[in-house]
Each structure stands twice: as structure tokens, then as C-alpha cells.
Amino acid sequence: METFILMCVLFLLLFLNIVSHATEFNNCSPGLCSDPPVYDVPERCSCRPDCYLYNECCSDKINKTTSDHKQPYPSIYYSCRKVSGSYYYQFDHCPPNHDVTEYVNNCENPDSDDQLQNIPAFGKTSKRLFRNLYCSLCHGEEFILWNLLYECNFILSPSIENISNYVKDGICEPTLKLPSEDLEKYLYSCIPYISNCPQDNTNMEQRITCESEAMALIYLDEEKYFIHTKYKDFNFYKNRGCATCNGVFEVPCELFYPIMLGNHVIPPLTILFNYHTKSIKITDKHIGTEDTLLQLPSCPKHAVYDMNTKECRQVIYHHQLNCTTTRLNESEYYITSDGLLYLNNAQRFLNQSEFTRDSQGIISICVNNGTNNISNINGISKYSVAESYITLVGLVISIPALAITIIVYLCIPDLRTLPGKLLISLLSALFVAELLFLISTKVTTSTVMCISLAIVIHYSFLATFFWMNVMSFDAWYTFSGLTQLRSKGKGTKRLALYSLYGWICPLVIVTISLIFEYTPGNHGLSPEYGNGICWIKNGKSLLWLFAIPVMFILCLNCIAFILTTRGLYMASKFSSKYLSKHSRNEFFICLKLYLVMGLTWTFAFMYTFTRIEEFSLLFCILNSFVGVFICVSFLSTKIVRRSILRNFRKIAKLPTKEFTDVSSAPKTISMDISTEKSVN
């Protein structure tokens, strides 16, 4: 018991460490590329090859800039803006000659209540970061939108309908995440510094110094000694000249930068089947978990789903109609004999100047004409914060329980039958899968360690399901009446065949995954092991290389379960004298079969197809604690109890029997003692 408690404490401590430290920062040294970097403190100037684009090069970098570089971006087009707690240069103004008023207004003066006007976008061609998709369009680029998340306090039943209310009530706060880790290298970090002198400062020498000196940021807070997080209490100046002309004549040189590192609760087991790639996520502020909250309906090409209006919205500007347009399905309209377009949902007519037909016969109209309900709301999914805690507690208890079950089966000879050996293989695969899943949450993503763990976890869970399939087949084969009592030789041969199936088949699938992972080309099935999470990131790959094989195995297991229970029922008819006793035994046998056949995992797919939230919660509970259920059900047997009792009596009575009188001792013991005496 002491060992079990110790293991639980160690697992919990693995997720509760907090590290705090501070680092010193020199505010007066010149900004040079040769300066050693200070951990987690922004650089005072830039040494990037493209630093000249934003006029942020260090003084020793400016001299190395060649004439081959293209001209810097006009400063009127961009500014330093905040995105999800970090500052990046964003293009937030349209070219002066742009004539689409809608794009200019939405880019430069976005409506704070319009979701699409407040999500940044990457340009597909230039990879520049734009304030929103309209800024991208007015610069003539297609775009890639950032992913939308919500940071919330504890909520139990989030949905598309109530998430907007949570935002209004201050329970949830929207935040944004990069659409792909590959785009991170195109972000240009910045600091909202002061780069000019106030208008009332008439000192031309100070003004020239501020504008001409190279960038070497001056950090200054109210207390003049500490750098606070995310610059919220800071005044930043481009260089000492800009600080001077803004009234700062004494600049402190030594500053201290406090750093606090925390960690998070593990994601729930439901993440294993999160093969949906278009989703809105939720992050809990208190524990830092990041779990998929809502599965969004798929939208047509050139459209995005708007959470506020609950609809897909077109973002392509149609020059002929002079508006943002959407395409209609044939069921949404019909054309009258006089050429008018009748909208079925809006119940209104449009004249020929209000819609267009392309060469393929597709009708496009302005989105303001009443056709906003393109997609119905289906496929809503959620991960609850409670599921993260259930997964953590369940795995911390289940992993030792699995280990105990494996050890007991290895130590008791009567349990090492063919079914017992199959159970050991199944539990070993499950033990490795759950243990590595628990450890993986503490490993830095996109590292060799994280990628390796993701691959092994993939293999271990697949092996678990294939061994469940072996258990299902063997149970059906046993109770089907097709076989008699096993001989030792046949059992060994079958164990070898089962082992080849249980260990090699998942290896084949993982090998295929690795081929897709490291084969060049945009085939769309690269698993993206370790990208953002130590698991499979690509939803399409997760579907084909994990979810579908598991679904197929579970279907076979369900059939085997039905046939096996039928065989048990038919066998009970031949012993009607002991029917009541057999009925109780059959229930526990069916319960064991239900667990080892993996039927608890069917709730993941029931939730996927029905979107009933209780299925998700039930799946998380049953499979997080499955090790405990298996341990209790398989170790609560007469064989285990007798073996433990026999060993206990042997240990407890052995010292007393050595001093027992020969006449009162059992016959075998008396003979042993007599023999020993004669030898002496």
C-alpha cells in the first residue's frame, strides 16, 4: 500500500511543479548583434536578415546591409500590434489607391463585434501578417486565417449557442493561435516603442538624434528597476535619443526581469480520437489545458465559419456586383421565366443586376441579400475541463493497477494459461500506452523526444486494440463449440500466431505512417508526430491510420462479444440445476469480456456520431479507470485468493512448524524431520 501511494504522489508531482527565477538585463549597452542574448527578454534591436524591412537593424548590422535588398516596407502600412499576448508587425492599412471601400473600412477600422474583422491572417504569397483578411485582400493576397480559441474559467457544458454569452459575461476571452507551426518563422516580433519626439519639443538636435540613431531600445517602467510581463507597464523608446527628447534624462542601466514558468493538466483521452481539423478550442485559464471545444461545420471554398452569426461567410469580392458574394446551392433558389432569381429561404426576388452566373452555371449573390444560412449546425463536440482531471486521476491510479495485475499473473502458475498469457500481452501494451501518454504531456513539443513518444504511443495503443481483437477471437473460439480442451502443444502454437498478429499488425500501420511522415510531397497524410502535441497532429492521418483501424477492430469485437455471450447462454441450459449460480458467474464473465474486448472505447465513436455529451464523459471515465476495473475484476477470483492465502499461510506458519513436535506434526513433515535427524 505504501508503494502504491508513493507512486500516486510521484505522478501528481510530475504535473504540479512551478519554477520561478529572475534574470539581469543591461539597459545601457549599445544594441549590437554580438551581444549575448538574455533569456526570455526581447532583443534591443534586430539581427534578422530581413531586419531592414522594418528599420530595426542593429548598428553593426546596418553596415552589412547590401544594395541587393529590396526597399523597406512603407511604415504607413504596418504597426506593432498584439496577438494572443505577443506583439508582431501587422499590415493594418490598405494602399492609398485601393478602391474597394468595404475592404478599406474593415481593414483600417474593424468592428470590434465582428469576429472576422478581428482575426489576423497570413498572406499566402508574401507570408506577411495582416490585421485581418480584409487587409490581405486589399493588398491583393489570398489569406490563411489564424485559429480561434477561448480562454475560460471552469465551464461544464460549453457549446456554440452559449460560448458567445460566456464572452459577453467575461467568463471566456477569445484568443488566437497560429494556423500552422510552419508559419511561425514568418512572424516578426516587435515592441510598441516610441520612435519620435513630441510635437512640442523644438530641439532639432534631439529630434535628429532620435530619428537617425540606430535602434537600441530603452526599457523604462514606473519603478525604473523591473521589467514587467508583456510590457503593459512599460514605456519603450527606440534609442537613447528618443528617450531624451521625451523627457527621460536619466536611464537606469541594471534591470531585473522576473520569469515564472508553470505547467498544465494533461489533455483528456478523447484527444486520441480528435481527427477533426476544423475546430474552435477552449483553454482554461487556471490550469492551462487546451482542449477541442466545438467542431465547426465545413464551409465551401472561399468561405469561413463565423461564430457570431453561426454561418459560413464568403470573403471573395466580386467586382461585377461590387460586394462580397456567396455561392448558392440549387435547392436555395429558382429562376423565373422573366429572368428573376427567387431565394427560397429569404422569400424574395433579385433582378439580374443583383446576381451572376459563372461558366459552370453557379449562381453568386451579395451576402447582404439574405442567404446567410449556408450550413446547419451539426457536429458539435466538446472537451470538458473535468475530463482532463478525470484522465489525470484515472491514469495515475490505473497504471499501478495494470502493473499489479501483470505481476500477479506472472507470479501465479495457475494463471499462466493461454488466456492468461493473452491478457498479460494486452495489459503490457495498455500499460506502456497509458504511461507514455501521461509522460508525454511534460515533454516539449516538436522535439526528438516528443516525436519518438508520439510514435511509440501510436504503436502501443494500436497494439492494445489488436490484442483486444485477439482476446475477442479466442473467447469466441473457446465458447463456440468448435474446439475441445486445448493441449499444451496447440496452445503454444496458437500463442505464437496470436503474438505475430498482435505485435506485427500495428507495426505495419506505424511503418506506413512513418513513410507518409518522411516522404516528400503534399500527400496530406503526414501524421505530423509531435507537432504541438506528442501525438498525431494531422486529423486526416489520425482518421485513416488510427481511428478507422480501431473502429474496424471494435466492430469485430462487438460481433465476437455477442456470439460469445450467446454461447455462454446456450451452455447454461445444460446445467439448469445450478442455473442461478451460473447466471451470476456468467454476468462477471461477460463483464470481464466487455473490458478486455475494448468495448468501453465504443463510446468515443458513439459520441462522434451522435454528439451526445454524456457519451464523451462516459468514454473518458471508463477508459481512464479501465486499469482499475481490470485489476479488480481479474484479481477477485478464487485462484488468486487461494494463491495469496496459501503463500500467506506458508510465510506465517513456516517459523512455528520448525519447532513442532514430531508426533503432532503432519506425516510428511514428520518424515522430513526424522530424515534430517538420521543424517545428523
Q: Assign residue 566 the CATH number of its domain.
A: 1.20.1070.10
Same domain for 139 and 233? yes
Same domain for 454 and 522? yes
Confidence at 423, pLDDT banded by 50, 70, 90: very high
What's the Cα-to-Cα distance from 476 to each of 316, 349, 593, rounded to whole Å? 58, 65, 10
Domain membership flag for residue 618: yes
Task: Look at 101 and 437; give whichever has higher pLDDT.
Answer: 437
Same domain for 415 and 504? yes
Domain membership flag for residue 552: yes
Task: Look at 437 and 479; give whichever has higher pLDDT.
Answer: 437
Same domain for 618 and 651? no
**CB 536 within 8 Å of CB 458:** yes
Report the percentage of the chain scoring pLDDT > 90. Answer: 23
pLDDT at 144: 86
Same domain for 483 and 551? yes
DSSP labels for 418-458? Answer: HHHHHHHHHHHHHHHHHHHHHHHTTSPTTSHHHHHHHHHHH
Domain membership flag for residue 274: no
Task: Look at 265 and 661; give whichever has higher pLDDT.
Answer: 265
Q: What is the pLDDT of residues 438-493, one digit of tens each?
A: 998 888 777 899 999 999 999 999 999 999 999 999 999 887 766 554 555 567 88
- Indicate if the pLDDT at residue 674 is higher than 70: no
Domain membership flag for residue 379: no
Pure H helices in 543-666: 548-572, 579-596, 602-610, 613-624, 626-635, 638-657
- Indicate if the pLDDT at residue 592 is higher than 80: yes
Same domain for 513 and 595? yes
Domain membership flag for residue 61: yes
Domain membership flag for residue 21: no
Task: Write the CB contacts of 380 (distance below 8 Å, at least 6 apart in sequence).
Answer: 159, 160, 294, 295, 611
Same domain for 71 and 34? yes
Same domain for 535 and 441? yes
pLDDT at 570: 78
Cell of 525: 497524410
pLDDT at 4: 41
Domain that holds residue 654: 641-675
Mean pLDDT of 317-329: 62
How many domains is the chain built from? 4
End-to-end CA distance of the chain: 44
Q: Average model confidence (pLDDT) for the chain?
A: 74
Same domain for 464 and 356? no
Q: Which of 262, 290, 307 is the last residue of a domain?
A: 262
Same domain for 441 and 506? yes
Domain membership flag for residue 253: yes
Which of 90-94, 330-334, 471-475, 535-539 has the weakest average pLDDT? Answer: 330-334
Q: What is the pLDDT of residues 253-290, one digit of tens each?
A: 655 443 333 334 567 777 777 654 444 555 544 444 44
Confidence at 70, pLDDT banded by 50, 70, 90: low
Domain membership flag for residue 542: yes
CA distance 99 to 89: 24
Q: Which of 244, 262, 280 is the last residue of a domain?
A: 262
Task: Report the SS3 class of residue 412.
Answer: coil
Degrees (nearest 5) of the Cα angle 174, 178, 183? 160
Cell of 84: 494572443
CA distance 155 to 172: 9
Q: What is the pLDDT of residues 357-371, one digit of tens each?
A: 877 777 877 755 544
pLDDT at 675: 33
Same domain for 356 and 429? no
Same domain for 531 and 621? yes
